[in-house]
Amino acid sequence: MNFFDIKKDNPHSIKSFLIAFLIGATISVFLSALYFISKMNIFDFTSGQTPSALQMQSSDLINIQIISMVSLFFISALIYAKLRAINFYTTYHVLQKPKIQFLFIGIAFAISAFPFLVFTENISHLIPLPQNILEWAKNQELNNEALFKKFFEINSVLSFFKTFLVISIFAGICEELFFRGALQNVLLKYFKNPHIAIWMQGIAFGVFHFNLYQMIPIALIGICFGYIYFYSKNIWYTIIIHAVYNGIQVVLYYLYLNNVLGFNIDNTSDVLWWQGLLSFLIASSLFYLLLQLLNKKS
């Protein structure tokens, strides 16, 4: 029998979802450890300390990202479907074809929302925090920025496309199947309220990116993706919009690092308040239009 094509649909279960996630996390840790062991010869272990991620090559970081993303999100979603004996295709809504005109509106929404989300991240820096949390958050942000730059130590067209593939396509597929396809449906079954389910999965989406200052803007875009998925009942909308949204950021950041663009998308201070406001007005209008169209279609 086809692993994906199970004929009956059972109710969603938080317990089964957590078990699937723990299995995926275990697989991720195990495969990452194997990868580290296979690459031990390229690191200096004379100090007796395990090398940090910043000491790794860009290609190794990308490979680790692939392992963790596929194991933690994609495999977890597959295992959950198997545990509940549910049909992968119908449960995650992967059979329907998205309408091109709706996709264009969704992509325009995501692109237009980016300045507002960057401005929101800038506002997050102004939130008063306890000193120990503030120091941790700043250190985490610096580490994330350094890792992001490591990803873009690109020396060939092939390595650029590999980076693009991981951050855009892989992230779009794996994260959408896990957060919108699986988690949102599980929460919807438990709380019986789509708004609670959508907001909770969005918050989880923000938390899983492990950046305190980016948590709010990432949660907001995750919530928007949740509403698009809920109204469309088609995971391809959020997968494609998510992939394009990430992909444009990859291209812009790569062009900035190579001195083609003067605008750094990773620098929140580059977005002024009026740009954030204009971005919010345009993005919210497009978002409202898209939900209205999807609602009529459904």
Helices (H), 131-214: 131-151, 157-164, 171-175, 185-191, 194-207
Query: What number is the average pLDDT over the span 78-97?
Result: 90
Query: In whole numbers, what is the pLDDT of the chain averaged over residues?
Result: 86
How many Cα atoms sit within 13 Å of 232 on the Cβ side?
A: 30
Tokens encoding 208: 């899983």
Q: What is the per-residue pLDDT for 1?
A: 44
* Contacts of residue 187, Cβ cutoff 8 Å, sequence gap at least 6: 196, 197, 200, 201
Q: Are 292 and 227 in contact (CB under 8 A)?
A: no
Q: Are 203 and 102 in contact (CB under 8 A)?
A: no
Q: How confident is the model at residue 297 (pLDDT cuts 50, 70, 90)?
A: confident
Q: How far apart are CA 92 and CA 96, in angstroms?
A: 10
196-246 confidence digits (pLDDT tens)? 999 999 999 999 988 888 899 999 999 999 999 999 999 999 999 999 999
